[in-house]
Amino acid sequence: MGADIHCVKGQPQRILLDTDMDTDDFFALLYLLKLNRSELDLQAITINANAWTDAGHSVNHVYDILYMMGRDDVVVGVGGEGGILEDGTILQNVGGYLPIIEQGNGTAGYCRYRQAIPVGPGGRLDKDTDFGFRKSFLPQGRRKYSPLRQPTAQEVMIEKISAGPITVLIIGAHTNFAIFLMNNPNLKKNIKHIYVMGGGVRSKNPTGCKALSASQSRQCGDHGNLFTAYTSNPYAEFNIYGDPFAAYQVIHSGIPVTLVPLDATNTIPITRDFFEALEKNQHTYEAQYCFKSLKMVRDTWVGDNFYKSYFMWDSFTSGVATSIMRNRQNQNGENEFAKVEYMNITVITSNKPYQISDGSNPFFDGLKVPKFNLKRNGVHSGHVQTGIRDPFCLVKNGKGRCMDGYTTEISGPEAAHVLVAVRAKPNSHNNSSLNREFFKSFLDVLNRPEQCGRFNFTAQSLHYEEIFYKPDFRGKRLGKNIVFDMDMSAGDFLSLFYLLKLPVEIINLKAILVSPNGWANAATIDVLYDLLHMMGRDDIPVGLGDMFALNQSDKLSPAVGDCKYHKAITHGSGGFLDSDNLYGLARNLPRSPRRYTAENSVKFGAPRDTDHPELRQPLALEIWGSVVKSLDAGSKVTILTNGPLTNIAKILLSDKNLSSPIQDIFVVGGHIINHESDKGNVINIPSNEYAELNMFLDPLAAKVVFDSALNITLIPLSVQRKVSRFGKILERLYLTKKTPESKFAWRLLSRLHRLKITNSRYQHMDTFLGEILGAVILAGDRFTLKTTFESRPIRVLATGIDSEDGQMIIDQNHGNSVKVLDDVNPFSFYDVFANQLGDERQSAIVGSFEEQRRIWNTPRSTTLPPSNSPRYPHHLSNPKPTQTFLSQKKMPGYEAISTTHPPAWCGATLSNLETGTDPGLSS
Ligand SMILES: [Ca+2]
Ligand SMILES: [Ca+2]
């Protein structure tokens, strides 16, 4: 490359990347990892945790990519627990889960800006899982998230920036880096330059300009790109909108900044020619991974304008930044890929008129001294957008008037003088079908044999085989039909182990419904698939429920919505970060061939059919419907719920035929107050003293269920609290027989226990132990457990008022009669649970990921065992007397992603690539 001539000899330039791990982010990351390390050396990655991905999933995604690329040396930082005090003191290790304006002393909080980001398909669920490809494609190494051991974003920034001169690339919201700058002004001198993808200065959004009708016309000509919130704010771009005050701190830091805003990225949409060139040039694993992901973005893109409305944002920025870095003698940012010019800009953080007090601005509202000593009538003192439908911002029949996050040009002393990329440069070879210079570079760099990805998931093991396990029920009389409805909290996984261990002649677990609006984010459904695979139950269907509590999704853009209830759960330690990784143990489970995938078909409402629509993740109501359909005449189902009651309410609110087969329902949750001192457990909403969290998370759904005619057994908080002694249950599990599941449960519970003892963020861990009680009561024997029940008339409050929502009232006049578990013998409970998990029957088929790896690295004997006997020698030595498993080599419709051989050109010479057949690449 021409630019290499100008390379300055000597030490490589060090780079820190702050990313929110969207699809385009890992394009940027892979591009950086492929560059010549003696020139440009990516040394650290910090994860932006308040944007397009969830921290717990994105951290392992980064680890997987780095492992594939042989770069386990790159340090990764995510999260942190420190807060910002009312006087503006920024504590160490602020996690960046919340924008600076919302950051108090903790990681739970409202979704002021985050609300604009879709939660499910098309948003965080698809990004957390990379549309399902991440799990099928990326290999798994040793590094993984582990509670309290994971380096935090601030620790990584401090370590790497202290070590010497460094360049920072920010391709998400600016929270992490702004907090770093505000807390460590003495280290600013080490930061040579900041490159930012974000904002729109003179940009005019081309999306929607060719729409056929006025109703389709979206964002055409707007500065910003908030497609879910453009009616209230047509000015902002997502990265800056994610935390405008943070971006202000970065842009005005005095450190040289190069901005790659929408002005430039709008001129580099992914064209059909580029897409096809990438399709033809997948000579490395990294190129394959990018293409597969990009194809899924295209195939699930709403509307027919993918090639005009999906741009290279972060990837383009990585190109512009590194090209400028390689040409350091050029003073004005000359580079190969973008035209640049200096502009005087600022970031709008609040709306005029300034110095108002309307309750929208926590920097000022109710404070004697404004936070960070901000000026009372300054630029930060106006109305701050509170959500995507903030009435202040909406103008009837007109353009929205909120500008939070707008990178506007201004003059005078308030302006920051920054270099701005204004457009992408055309391809210097004008006979090429690739019309941008950067397209060529991206394809070239990604397909370079140097620093090539070593293997993908299937090639990671010599004898990889995709196997689908299903128990053989022939000749068995199956027991009571059960459907388990859970929100993927730690106790729910332990309850599931227990349910799977109960003899199928007693309990027939027919399906699992998942509520992704509780303790874990939707992508955690993959952990559930892995647990079922471990237990040989790939036959149990799993249905994914609604992303929002009843009535909380947005009327106009249902993919986004309010977090009125969800805000009760912390994002960091003890909250989503841990749930999403099962406290660091999720990756110890064997990997299931089943997984969430964004594959879908037109038949189910997708914009177009993808390659494998038959793999589509079923929805909770669909799974429930198929359970109902499968029942013999007169058969009924018992439901156990361990989370918010959204799915059950949806069943009740749908047609009657769907709810009539419900025999009874066991509800884990709810709190019955006997004394004023009996507090609930909605710990992050202090005004709500008496509700239990499962009820609070969707009070309206709880009301629907408790007002219904269902036959309800309640396992309330007070009795759950009687069975939450870690010491006792661990003692019992330690003494029981060692099955993979009893060992796993012991590890998880002892980890929760240790965390509870050592760290204040984990004080609520016993909640998860208590919630196992439901599963045990459901199938348990009254005499062994010494249970007593009482009938109570119960009503649930769903008033929309924080202090009342989810509260249970004993109401003799209007309450419905509910059977309430009053007492249980805790020691019997611990015994029953531990003994069942230690039972050698219905035990795990593959005990762990390590064991799965061993199997995949052992050549299979050419004579396979008969199909009704356990498959591997391991199982032959550990026979399952009452149940045999059928295994099927491949799940119908699943394809192994790649052969065990590396792509043809990986490791070959670059000249091979250059003589490739693609016209765009030949010169
Ligand atoms: Ca990004
Ligand atoms: Ca739960």
Ligand nearest to the CA of 239: 1
The alpha carbons of the chain give a radius of gyration, in whole angstroms, of 28
What phi, psi does 76 have (nearest 5°)? -125, 130
Using the mean position of ligand 2's atoms as its centre, give its distance from the Cα of residue 767 in Å: 9
Using the mean position of ligand 2's atoms as its centre, give its distance from the Cα of residue 488 in Å: 6
pTM given for the model: 0.94
Residue 878 has pLDDT above 60, yes or no: no
Least confident of 212-226, 246-260, 439-453: 212-226
Ligand nearest to the CA of 489: 2
Q: What is the pLDDT of residues 817-834, one digit of tens each?
A: 999 999 999 999 999 999
C-alpha–C-alpha distance, residues 863 and 273, integer Å: 49
Strand partners of residue 481: 508
Q: How confident is the model at residue 640 (pLDDT cuts 50, 70, 90)?
A: very high
**Mean of per-residue pLDDT scores for the chain:** 92
Q: What is the pLDDT of residues 306-348, one digit of tens each?
A: 999 999 999 999 999 999 999 988 889 999 999 999 999 999 9
Dihedral sign computed on CA atoms, order 688, 690, 694, 696:
negative
Q: Are 107 and 192 in contact (CB under 8 A)?
A: no
Ligand nearest to the CA of 771: 2
Q: What is the pLDDT of residues 156-168, one digit of tens each?
A: 999 999 999 999 9
Ligand nearest to the CA of 484: 2
Q: What percent of the chain has pLDDT over 90?
A: 87
Using the mean position of ligand 2's atoms as its centre, give its distance from the Cα of residue 724 in Å: 14
Using the mean position of ligand 2's atoms as its centre, give its distance from the Cα of residue 172 in Å: 31
Strand partners of residue 195: 169, 258
Give the number of residues written for the chain.
923
Dihedral sign computed on CA atoms, order 185, 186, 187, 188:
positive
What is the pLDDT, as a whole number, of residue 864?
44
Using the mean position of ligand 2's atoms as its centre, give its distance from the Cα of residue 490 in Å: 7
What is the pLDDT, as a whole number, of residue 212?
55
Using the mean position of ligand 1's atoms as its centre, give its distance from the Cα of residue 172 in Å: 4
Residue 888 has pLDDT above 70, yes or no: yes
Using the mean position of ligand 2's atoms as its centre, give its distance from the Cα of residue 694 in Å: 7
Using the mean position of ligand 2's atoms as its centre, give its distance from the Cα of residue 149 in Å: 25
Ligand nearest to the CA of 569: 2
What is the pLDDT, as a whole number, of residue 915?
34
Using the mean position of ligand 1's atoms as its centre, give its distance from the Cα of residue 190 in Å: 24
Q: How confident is the model at residue 38 (pLDDT cuts 50, 70, 90)?
A: very high
Residue 363 has pLDDT above 60, yes or no: yes
Residue corresponding to tokens 């909640």: 767
Mode of pairing for the β-strands spanning 808-810 and 788-796:
antiparallel
pLDDT higher at 781 or 182? 182
Look up residue 773 and give its amino acid: L
Write the Ramachandran bin of 579: left for phi over 0, alpha for psi from -120 to 50, otherwise beta. alpha
Ligand nearest to the CA of 265: 1
Mean pLDDT of 19-29: 98
Tokens matching residue 812:
């003799």
SS3 46: strand
C-alpha–C-alpha distance, residues 236 and 407, integer Å: 8
Using the mean position of ligand 2's atoms as its centre, give its distance from the Cα of residue 662 in Å: 21
Residue 801 has pLDDT above 60, yes or no: yes
Using the mean position of ligand 2's atoms as its centre, give its distance from the Cα of residue 512 in Å: 13
Using the mean position of ligand 1's atoms as its centre, give its distance from the Cα of residue 23 in Å: 8
Q: How confident is the model at residue 356 (pLDDT cuts 50, 70, 90)?
A: confident
Q: How confident is the model at residue 554 (pLDDT cuts 50, 70, 90)?
A: very high
Q: What is the pLDDT of residues 691-743, one digit of tens each?
A: 999 999 999 999 999 999 999 999 999 999 999 999 999 999 999 999 999 99
Ligand nearest to the CA of 173: 1
Ligand nearest to the CA of 312: 1
Q: How confident is the model at residue 3 (pLDDT cuts 50, 70, 90)?
A: very low
Residue 9 has pLDDT above 60, yes or no: no
- Counting other chains too, the contacts that 849-854 makes at CB distance below 8 Å and 24 or more residues apart are 849/140, 849/587, 849/588, 849/589, 849/590, 849/591, 850/588, 851/590, 851/740, 852/590, 852/591, 853/461
Ligand nearest to the CA of 170: 1
Mean pLDDT of 43-50: 98
Q: Are 70 and 454 in contact (CB under 8 A)?
A: yes
Ligand nearest to the CA of 524: 2
pLDDT higher at 886 or 447? 447
Using the mean position of ligand 1's atoms as its centre, give its distance from the Cα of residue 191 in Å: 21
Name the packing angle between helices 726-735 and 740-758 (round to 10°).
150
What is the pLDDT, as a whole number, of residue 890?
65
Dihedral sign computed on CA atoms, order 836, 838, 839, 841:
positive
Using the mean position of ligand 1's atoms as its centre, give its distance from the Cα of residue 530 in Å: 29
C-alpha–C-alpha distance, residues 771 and 782, integer Å: 18
C-alpha–C-alpha distance, residues 293 and 615, integer Å: 16
Q: Of 765, 700, 676, give the one whose Cα is nearest residue 727.
A: 765
What is the pLDDT, as a whole number, of residue 7?
44
Using the mean position of ligand 2's atoms as its centre, give its distance from the Cα of residue 439 in Å: 47
Q: Are 72 and 142 in contact (CB under 8 A)?
A: yes
Ligand nearest to the CA of 769: 2
